[in-house]
A and B are shown apart, each in its own frame.
Chain A
Amino acid sequence: MSDKTPVLEMRGLDKSFGPIDVLHDISLKVHEGEVLCLLGDNGAGKSTLIKTLSGVYQPTRGEMWMDGKPVSFANPREAQNMGIATLHQFGGTYPLMSIGRNFFAGVEPTKGFGPFKAFDRAKANRIAVEEVQKMGITRITDGDRLVGGLSGGERQSLAIARAVYFGARVLILDEPTAALGVKQAAHVLRIVKEAKRRGLAVIFITHQVMHAMAVGDHFAVLIRGAIAADFRKGERTREEIADLMAGGESMADLEANIEGYMETHDGHPPPPAH
């Protein structure tokens, strides 16, 4: 797969806000049908990287390439038009609107002509239900139901199905499983795999190593704005990744620390360090 041109490539991306360097020399690529997992703890620069990729910020230095051509996005709309879809948690869905209306928000199919162009509800509902079912959510059968009644995983899936339907080539998922229960997260991971199977390039941002390992082909760990590790599936164990994310500290050491403290302090855990 590495001989093909990557769909999206970052070459030496830097981003600073005034004197503060947030991203430093980020070089990553993602191919069609591949899931790139961006791991990193809070404050590692994940969201800044997403925002740079989706056109909210412009990189201070470095280049972005799509299909072997350099690109730059002046605003999120341009990135969207190039096929980069960024989905934040629950973003892009409106709880008190029907599934069909959600799916086509902003790009409604209409029928009729002139001032009497009406929203084609039947068509919108049919396509929305079809597309969501194709993603493997067979529970949704009625496009008139309100999205707020769906589970968190289903809402995520609806947003992903929407992005796929409207021609996204790169899917950036910002912590899609963070607030979900085990079952719901598994649901979303299935959808991510489905998107991958359809040939989308997926950038999956998370700090849950288990979720990343379940779907990822390629992993990059961000620490303080720089790539601390870049490896492919099967090259690291779960513990190694968790340690990397924790900033090089060994989780085992930390656990031993806490346990040692608890033994000498009547079973009380250590107070949080401030």
Chain B
Amino acid sequence: MDMISNLLRRPAAASVLSLVGVLAFYILIAGVDFGKLMGAASWVNYAARIGIVALPVGLLMISGEIDISIGAMIPAGAMTTAIISGHYELPIIFGILGALAIGVIVGTINGVLAVRTNVPTLIVTLATLVGMQGVVLAGSKLLTGSASVPLTAPDWAKTVFGQLMFGGSHQVVIVWWVFFAVIFWFVLHQSRYGNWIFAMGGDKESARNAGIPVNRMTILLFILTATSASFVGMCHAILFNSAQVSGGMHDIFNIIVSVVVGGVLLTGGFGSVPGIFVGSLTFAIVNKGIDFTAIDRNWSNLIIGVMLLVAVAMNESLRKLALSAAIGKRGKQKQDAPMSAASGEQRLPVPHSRRVERNEGPTDV
């Protein structure tokens, strides 16, 4: 019993329960063949595609900020690669570096704006989101005269970023996703930087006072989100031999839903990499798994909406559980524990000076 409650208190608990719930729904009610689902590549590819971006976005959200410009950065990365290596026929390595560079540049802009101004990062990145869409569309029209650019990538690039060599239609992004997840897991949960990120999300001012380089970390996290988005775009351009200006907009919400289902608190300070990983997986199964059912795939958004609400509600109650069971031995110490701020305070009858000052002589009515 104690073990179960310990497991439930972990930040990833709700996302695992969501995953189990979704699988149960698909298999038991919608009649999905479990073996067929496991063998399919579509949802794993999709999970990897959003998962790679969801990891740094999750870290950023734990630190108390948000980045929605990722929606423009995925096509931006793809177009950059296609324009450099497709249209101008430069070696693919320049296309790859160009895509990553544009991620670093936009990420730096986001980060510096977030740190230097008091504008909420939702607004800052909304501005860069819209701005980058304009840049990508106008830029590709200007340079190539079209909104869709073909690209032929050499074999080595296809091996590293495209189709998985062995095994049908699985893509290499899956390997990258797992690889990044391990790195992010280490950073967030094992290194001191993870502690900094949590502290930033918990109380930015205290974190600053404790000597944590809050500004540098914020900029770095914004660079990571934008670059991971352009990385995903670049992989797609190489995989599909072309890039289009459109696309990527709905990825913003899909990624944020994955992160939130993964147990990250929207206001920051709480979350986990395993949770984000499972959250992306769950989202992908809902979104792509519906093709394995008899249900019309247009219903999938309804399922996602319901899942989001249920997962967030679960997150809330599980977090309360984690907080309430904070102290070792429960029960007997309950009496003096939770009566802190809420309980009545005892003060001497010292009224505000303003009232006292005006009370000279008999009071006017």
Contacts and interface: CB of A to CB of B under 8 A. Distances in A.
Interface of A: 41-44, 76-77, 80, 86, 91-97, 101, 104-108, 110, 116-119, 139-142, 145-153, 155, 178-185, 207-210, 238, 242, 245-247, 249, 251, 254-255, 257, 261, 270-273
Interface in B318-365: 319, 322-329, 333, 336-341, 343-360, 362-365
A273 B190 contact: no
Contact of B353 (A42, A182, A209): A42
Contacts, number: 183
B206 A149 contact: no
B351 A181 contact: no
B33 interface: no
Given A106-B212, A139-B327, A181 B365 contact: no
Nearest to B212: A106
B122 interface: no
B323 A105 contact: no
Interface string B238-276: 000000000000000000000000000100011000000
A151 B339 contact: yes
A208 B350 CA distance: 8
A172 B53 CA distance: 44
A110 B195 CA distance: 12
A40 B322 CA distance: 39
B207 A142 contact: no
Interface size class of B (residues with CB under 8 A): 35 or more
A183 B195 contact: no
A180 B341 contact: yes
A270 B326 contact: no
Interface in B170-218: 186, 190-192, 194-196, 198-199, 201-203, 205-207, 209-212
A209 B346 contact: no
B192 A181 contact: no
Nearest to B199: A105
B151 to A, nearest CB: 34
A247 B356 contact: yes
A151 B340 contact: yes
Contact of A96 (B206, B265, B345): B265
B192 A108 contact: yes
Q: Give the top 3 A-B pairs by smallest Cβ distance, nearest first.
A: A149-B326, A94-B202, A152-B340
A246 to B, nearest CB: 5
Contacts of B190: 118-119
